[in-house]
Amino acid sequence: MNIPKTALVTGGAGFIGSHVVDHLLSLGSEVIVYDNFSTGYQINLAGQAANPKLRIVRGDTLDLPSLETAMKGADTVFHFQANADVRGGIKQTRIDLEQNTISTWNVLDAMRTTDAKTLVFASSATVYGEPDIFPTPENIPLIQTSLYGASKAAGECMIQAYAEYFGLRTLCFRFVSWIGPRYSHGVVVDFLKKLRANPQELEILGDGNQQKSYLDVRDGIAGIFLALAKAESPKSIFNLGHDDFINVLEVARMVIEEAGLKDVSLRTTGGKRGWLGDSPTVHLDTERMKQIGWAPKIPIESGIRATVRHLIENPALFTRG
């Protein structure tokens, strides 16, 4: 088992990063969270506040000297910081370059000058653009349809080059949309926010027939740590998704039901895509993960319903813009 002695988690106060932190602490690792709290929450780490193995550094991944200082002593880096808003790049065309690509370069260069030799990277199914093979395997050409996807693909490429030059072990995971406790952005939050503003009508971006997979964060974290223990290639790439998928109209119905609302009229904005760069179908082939013994256990529907209940119980997660 490849248990990090000391791990640095960028974005460790975020939705997924904080679950990585919990898991590392449960394994007995020392953990350094590196986060600027722009979209992360102190409350995500509240359960570990008294844990002497956790150190929280409030810092920006664009600040290389600060990142290098924080990384000293870490053997493994989980790079989970990003601009995780896949739509942001349409209006702010620098954001993915800075927050995703340059930040990833900073992480790699800090690894070059410290002792950290293993990198786990949160990549995305968006690197496939609009593929024409489903479920989509890892080894197809990556043709970009969004700046977010392009920034993640660029990050993966730099990771491979740094691995070659400096002998790093790297694992890149291409995620579908994740759901579960501490979820704070994405379609479920969007729907709940709209329903709070108007419980009679729900606007759905696109025609609602977009088909997507969703992965519960607990299944995803189990997959990441299994691959960390078992992956043989020094430069691994794994899809992390669900065998199943559902369409956006079904998600809307589940959110409405769990929110206890009735007679909500659904208004679709039309078109196959919800926004520029949205892929109408996201369904990844997870055979590589299955070969190392992983499979998702939590059905999409129960994951979405539990996420809605979690959000209703934790309204602070709605404060995100």
Ligand X SMILES: NC(=O)c1ccc[n+]([C@@H]2O[C@H](COP(=O)([O-])OP(=O)(O)OC[C@H]3O[C@@H](n4cnc5c(N)ncnc54)[C@H](O)[C@@H]3O)[C@@H](O)[C@H]2O)c1
Which residues lie near ligand X (CB under 6 A)? 11, 13-17, 35-40, 60-62, 80-82, 84, 99, 103, 122, 124, 175, 177-178, 184, 186
| Residue showing tokens 């369904």 | 283
In the bound complex, what is the minimum distance in angstroms from residue 303's beta carbon to ligand X? 12
Nearer to ligand X, 80 or 238 (CB): 80
In the bound complex, what is the minimum distance in angstroms from residue 79's beta carbon to ligand X? 7
Do the bridges between strand 246-247 and strand 211-212 make them parallel or antiparallel, or are there none, so unpaired? antiparallel
Nearer to ligand X, 11 or 208 (CB): 11
Nearer to ligand X, 124 or 146 (CB): 124
Contact 246/212 with Cβ under 8 angstroms? yes
In the bound complex, what is the minimum distance in angstroms from residue 265's beta carbon to ligand X? 28
In the bound complex, what is the minimum distance in angstroms from residue 260's beta carbon to ligand X? 25
Nearer to ligand X, 131 or 264 (CB): 131
Nearer to ligand X, 85 or 199 (CB): 85
What whole-number distance in Å separates Cα of residue 19 and Cα of residue 21?
5
What whole-number distance in Å separates Cα of residue 24 and Cα of residue 48?
11
Buried b vs exposed e over 80-111: b needs ≥16 C-beta within 10 Å?
Answer: bbbbbbbeebeeeeebbbebbbbbbbbbbbbb
What whole-number distance in Å separates Cα of residue 95 and Cα of residue 88?
7
Paired residues of 309 in beta bridges: none
In the bound complex, what is the minimum distance in angstroms from residue 99's beta carbon to ligand X? 5
Nearer to ligand X, 100 or 118 (CB): 100
Do the bridges between strand 246-247 and strand 265-268 make them parallel or antiparallel, or are there none, so unpaired? unpaired
In the bound complex, what is the minimum distance in angstroms from residue 23's beta carbon to ligand X? 14
Q: What angle do CA 280, 144, 138 make, to 5 degrees?
A: 80
